[in-house]
A and B are shown apart, each in its own frame.
Chain A
């Protein structure tokens, strides 16, 4: 032992030990560092502890504490280095190339995911969700919506009946009237749900499918608002470069009526961008005054617009599914492709 103070000696030893630990290249190196500093017999730190007795009584607690702290620091550094050496080394410790443990993945049905994506956009545009029964009456499905039963328009959706005038709704539009009956304007809702038609199963038709209705009723709502909101939806859903086209059409419960088409811009593998064909995405229009009147509102005061779209078809386009029936098979290998 030199004549430097024990505290300073400890500080020096700590530095030396930590350096030596860092430089150790193998478990053997590390063991010799341990023996040199912490060896039970003549380890350099251990000797200081053992020599405590020869110090003046007032210095003993200070040096003792310091020595124990240094011993702890060095021990921790030895352990940490040992783990690191084992990992990087070619030793038999742990083969971390083995696969990790996972949990089962689950997910929402792709059509539900599409409904949710659409809902979230409309939620941001200030809409809420409303619902209505799937089995409804001719009044709600047709007559209240300005569709006389003896008009050819009632034929276009081949309807499934239960009894007499009770049917399975052929569109989500009955929710329009059911919502207006219960609430006062302003109305700003969407209504996702199942609808039923007497269509045989094929690649693009199923007798039951999802539809999303939308309805806005307020004072001073115009064709311009109608176009703007739906175009905004389309750009948020399909991207800011999406072109939107409104074509005249006919639905008994809207006038003027429109079909809404979009033309998307898609990125091709080679980096170039390409516009798709026009794709029909929904039927829509300004709510017919007869419908507003049937709801008990003043049709001179209130105007509005409505739309109906098929998330199943939109999901098909989005994911490249070519047969609508695939959605009903519910093969877990199919569903897991859409896992969250």
Chain B
């Protein structure tokens, strides 16, 4: 809502303060100012000039030569406007001045004639859309006077941020009420210059009311509880006088013509949207408020757009056809234009939800619909229509014809809300007394009508009837007007909560710390994914390139790796913890799981002069995966070679691992990323990755139970084994463990070798076995017996022999 500070000060006598100070007050009332603008800010060079004489240009029919007095100096100016007249005043940009848009005025020769400056149109000054002629100024001026000051363009406009509950603040009156206590304490309506202040009479009726040939009928009182129509005859549509234009400009609106400007003026002042119909264009001089008929499926609004109507929209119609979409926009067929003589002025109340639904269906929003959606003052209609009639009569002439028609099938009943002082204290933490509560609420339009035993009966004004309906709403008003900053801020002890700290968050903390400690950086990527990377579709996606929610994190993390490689970052180690989405039954929320993904490429360690660079290998990936899986599943998940096809198309099947939990379901996969699954520069090495689903309810970290340290020495034996290629190490290890006896304390694989001395199709695998007994020092012979048994079993079961 754009608010003119001058207008505000006219409505709150005694209100002082700079725009910045007013903004501060408003911020502390809950209506912060986003921006302060001064429309005349860019027009400081412009002066008011008087055209002393005009003559025709010798070389051009459409140009005239003007003698322009811009303050003590008369210069020749070539002018192309048809409306330039001697003896009138216009805004003038002298040589050397700069117009909005950084347009500098230079001395020029136009068709051979010298031109020293420019007479300006409203559009050239960014003050309106009119470019048909130069801007004629009404009134008497001193040539050379500042244009900005002469027209009041130094008014500061405050762009007030109005929250969705405060429709009443979408008007100067509403904002003025919040500032009243900063001034004289009350809000007045400024005088309208030249207003005849006609006596107003009303004819009430429902569902129809008529006077002479004009009638109003409401067929849908739920959506339109009240419709006031005033008939004005003999108006002359034309530009508004300067005072009205100034008001509108100060509130960020552009002047159109006196009738339209009058409706906008009242809307900006009181928050009540109004609409002026050309009465001659209303068939039967009638207004019928109804839903569209079956045949009425389109309607052209006055912005020249054809709108598709639906049966649940409320329309304003004449005796035959729709002439406006109720509360949203008028129609082309009944628009006021330069020919209009008689006007029917609409001032009505429409159901907020209906207006909202209609404008949403039509995909549009107007100043009127914005206000109706948020609720306009049901008690303010007559004030608004009278004000608007006065402005039209003062600026467009004509007369009010007969009583104003007030069709009112529903009467507004003001709400009374009970407010307990005890409840205020219970919520706000400090006691409040009745007189003070009264002093806080009444300047805002509330009335404390009764007080008994600490319970106040508060009458809510119409303009607050939408957001203040409950006791808590009044308590907020008390807190707000008392001032949030005026409350103490004393920290008191609090009872501990009943909610345990979420174990998955705790596991995430643990995994993050572990991975960061191992040299990985945490990445964050949005969960939106290209087609094919998930089966949960977004109904209204932001971008058609990312219409689904991701099933897996790896694809987006690999894109981040590609991004890094493309920028020359050779060593990329990233992880991410995020949500995976998976479709369930139709219409149900998707299934979500927390995943952890890792991508790695580059060198194993930072370069150091003492060693050659070593690239990361599958073994680095496997070690990391084992560590993470063991932490996540508390040692109950195993990393094994992937034994199926499920590599997700990302992993190279020859270097693919999977993680299996103790219920034998696959909870993760990792390995070398297939060459075609990632786009890497030629210089880049292998890329490794894994993705692990984290348990939904992780178990707590296991508690260590102390194990007594050994008292007796250990005996170590190295075994170099020749194993056939088709016997995997895991199998060999298992056999050793099973056959080495209970004194085997540790088994370490320390070498794998193929090549010279090793027969084709075999490899040498070397283990170190450490034996130790808790009962006493082991004898060599006993250890030898164990080793012999191991070798026997290896040969029997696996055909594995000791290397000679």
Contacts and interface: CB of A to CB of B under 8 A. Distances in A.
Contact of B579 (A125, A194, A249, A303): A194
A331 interface: yes
A104 B494 contact: no
Contact of A111 (B30, B487, B515, B524): B524
Highest count of chain B CB atoms <10 Å: which of A111, A245, A332, A335: A332
Nearest to A187: B497
22 contacts: A103-B519, A103-B606, A106-B517, A107-B516, A107-B522, A129-B501, A152-B373, A184-B498, A194-B579, A196-B527, A206-B526, A216-B494, A218-B494, A224-B487, A225-B491, A255-B475, A256-B480, A289-B470, A327-B524, A330-B574, A332-B571, A332-B574
Contact of B589 (A125, A136, A200, A333): A136
A329 B430 CA distance: 49
Interface residues of A, number: 99
B571 A133 contact: no
Given A160-B541, A163-B587, A330 B480 contact: no
B577 to A, nearest CB: 9
Interface string B558-576: 0010011001010111100
Given A112-B512, A112-B522, A255 B472 contact: yes
A126 B502 contact: no
Shortest Cβ-Cβ A-B pairs, 9 listed: A104-B519, A222-B429, A248-B30, A224-B429, A188-B497, A250-B163, A246-B484, A208-B526, A330-B523
A288 interface: yes
A3 interface: no
Given A111-B524, A162-B589, A229 B491 contact: yes
Contacts of B473: 255
Contacts of B18: none
A288 B522 contact: no
A166 B588 contact: yes
A87 B569 CA distance: 38
Contacts of A111: 524
A192 B485 CA distance: 28
Given A162-B590, A222-B429, A223-B427, A249 B539 contact: no
Contacts of A249: 30, 163
Interface string A191-222: 01010101110000011101000001010111
A303 B470 CA distance: 16
Contacts of A294: none
A150 B353 contact: yes
B452 interface: no
Interface stretch (A13-21, A45-53, A94-102): A94-102
A331 B539 contact: no
Interface in A217-238: 218, 220-225, 227-229, 231-232
Interface in A142-163: 150-153, 155-156, 160-163
A194 B522 CA distance: 16
Interface string A239-267: 00000111111101001111100000000
Interface in B488-531: 488-492, 494-502, 504-505, 509, 512, 515-528
B563 A330 contact: yes
B549 A161 contact: no
Interface in B723-752: none
Contact of A135 (B502, B505, B590): B590
A297 interface: no
A247 B32 contact: yes
A166 B581 CA distance: 13
Contacts of A184: 498
Highest count of chain A CB atoms <10 Å: which of B470, B498, B527, B608: B498
The prevalent SS among residues of B at the interface is loop
A9 interface: no
A161 B587 CA distance: 11
A156 B475 contact: no
A330 B524 contact: yes
Nearest to A250: B163
A186 B525 contact: no
A75 interface: no
Nearest to A111: B524
A330 B560 contact: yes
Contact of B499 (A160, A189, A199, A303): A189
B70 interface: no
Contact of B527 (A194, A256, A257): A194
B540 A160 contact: yes
A186 B541 contact: no
A162 B61 CA distance: 65
Contact of B491 (A106, A207, A228, A259): A228
Interface string A295-334: 0000000010000000000000000000000011111110
Interface residues of B, number: 92
B166 interface: yes
A332 B495 contact: no
Highest count of chain B CB atoms <10 Å: which of A105, A116, A330, A340: A330
B476 interface: yes
A166 B589 contact: yes
A121 interface: no
B197 interface: no
A82 interface: no
A86 interface: no
A194 B527 CA distance: 9
Contacts of A188: 494-497, 499
Given A166-B589, A228-B490, A330-B525, A152 B567 contact: no
B683 interface: no
Nearest to A116: B509
Interface string B587-599: 1111010000000
B552 to A, nearest CB: 15
B492 A225 contact: yes
Contacts of B572: 332
A182 B500 CA distance: 11
A331 B567 contact: yes
Interface in A69-107: 98-99, 101-107
Nearest to B505: A129
Given A104-B605, A106-B517, A106-B520, A332 B487 contact: no
Contact of B485 (A216, A218, A245, A255): A245
A328 B539 contact: no
Nearest to A185: B498
Highest count of chain A CB atoms <10 Å: which of B30, B499, B512, B539: B499
Interface in B528-557: 528, 536-542, 549
Given A129-B501, A256-B476, A227 B587 contact: no
A187 B500 CA distance: 10
Contacts of B537: 162
A150 B502 CA distance: 35
Contacts of B500: 128
A207 B528 CA distance: 9
A106 B515 contact: yes
Given A107-B521, A187-B499, A198 B542 contact: yes
A152 B374 contact: yes
Contacts of B164: 151-153, 155-156, 250
Contact of A127 (B484, B488, B497): B497
B320 interface: no
Contact of B472 (A133, A225, A289): A289
B291 to A, nearest CB: 18
B163 A179 contact: no
A106 B473 CA distance: 51
A256 B479 contact: yes
A225 B588 contact: no
Contacts of A329: 560, 563
B522 A109 contact: yes
Nearest to B548: A162
B564 to A, nearest CB: 5
Contacts of B504: 131
A106 B587 contact: no
B496 A133 contact: no
A336 B519 CA distance: 10
